[in-house]
Amino acid sequence: MNLRPLGRSGLQVSPLAFGGNVFGWTVDEATSFRLLDAWVDAGFNFIDTADVYSIWAPGHTGGESETIIGKWLRATGKRDRIVLATKVGKPMGEGKKGLSPRYIREAVEASLRRLQCDCIDLYQSHDDDAETPFEDTLGAYAELIKAGKVRAIGASNHTAPRLAEALAVSERLGLPRYESLQPLYNLCDRAVYEAELEPLCQSQQLGVINFFALAMGFLTGKYRSAADASRSTRGERAVAAYLNDRGRRILAALDEVAAETGAKPGQVALAWQIARPSITAPIASATSLDQLQELVAAAQLKLDPTQIARLDAASAEQA
C-alpha cells in the first residue's frame, strides 16, 4: 500500500478512508468488526468517523459508530495499525454542539471513552462555528495536542474564506493549524471545491479527505430511474439530487470507462478522485465484504489521461 502524507501533519494514510457512518446504523457490530478487520488486512489504515454518527437513526443518541470502533480496537489490539479520525461540533443534544473550548474539552473525553484509546490521530471540526473565535477553538486544540490526546486537527464543511481565516489565525498566534479539509466532492459535486477550496488547499499544503465520494451511491450506477430510489436508505435523496441530464451523462461515461478497464462504475468514480493531485483520500463506506473488496480494487485502479479527460468532460457543469 502506497501511503500518502496528510497535509503537514506527519500522518501517512491509505488512498481511501473507510467511512464509519455505517457502523451501528446500517451495519451491526459483528459485521462492523469483519469489515474493519478486512480493511486493515487489505493494507488500508485510514478510518473516519464522528461523535454524532448515527444520531439520525431512530432510537440513537450519537456515539454509536465510535463505540463499535472502540470495541473492535479493544478486542483486536489493532490501534497501532490505523490512523483514527473523528469529529466534533455537530449537535449531540442540549448544550452539546459547536467549537467552544468548554465543549471541545468535554467532547474529546467522551470520544476517547467510546473509542477506548488514549489519542485521536485526526480531530476535526465537523462544522464551522461562527460564534466561537478561531483563537479560542484552536487554543483548545493546542491544549489537547500538548496533552497527547490529539495528534493533528482538521476542518470539515468550511468555506474557503473561513478556512483561510483559520489558517491565518494559526500562523499569527502560533497555534496548531488545520492540516486537512473534509469537503463535499465527487464527479457530481465539483464546482465549489475546484473553484474555491482546491486552490487554497494546494497552496497551504492541506490534505483533502472528501466525503460523499460516491454521491450517496449514485456513482455506483444503481440509481438509473426514479423507481430505483427504493434500493437503499439514501436512494430518494440521491435520485432527487443527481438523476438529471448531467447525471445521466456522468453515468454513461463511467459505464464506458468501466467497460474498458473491467471495473465497476463506482470503482472508476473513486479512481478518478484518487488520481486528482489535490485529493489525499476519498471517504467511502461498505456494508458488506463484497462491497469492501470493490473499494480495495478501486484503490488499485489506474485510469489513463484520456479516460480522466472523458470523465472531466462528462461531469463538467456546462457540457
Which residues are known to be catalytic?
53
Q: What is the largest CA-CA distance in the chain?
A: 55
Displacement of CA 168 from its chain's centroid (Å): 24
Question: Whole-angstrom Cα distance, residue 310 to residue 306?
Answer: 6
What number of other Cβ atoms are within 10 A of residue 8's Cβ? 14
Question: Whole-angstrom Cα distance, residue 268 to residue 215?
Answer: 13
Q: In sequence order, what E strands does 77-234 have?
A: 83-88, 120-125, 150-156, 178-182, 207-208
DSSP-derived 3-state class of residue 237: helix
Q: Are 213 and 15 in contact (CB under 8 A)?
A: no
Question: Whole-angstrom Cα distance, residue 250 to residue 70?
Answer: 38
Beta bridge partners of 125: 88, 155
DSSP-derived 3-state class of residue 230: helix
Helices 265-274 and 245-261: crossing angle in degrees, nearest 10, is 90
What b-and-e string marks burial along 115-132, b requiring 16 or more CB atoms within 10 Å of the CB? Answer: bbbebbbbbbbbbbbeeb
Q: Which among 272, 309, 258, 306 is positioned nearest to 15, based on CA atoms?
A: 272
Q: Which among 70, 26, 29 is positioned nearest to 47, based on CA atoms?
A: 70
Amino acid identity of residue 51, one-letter, is D
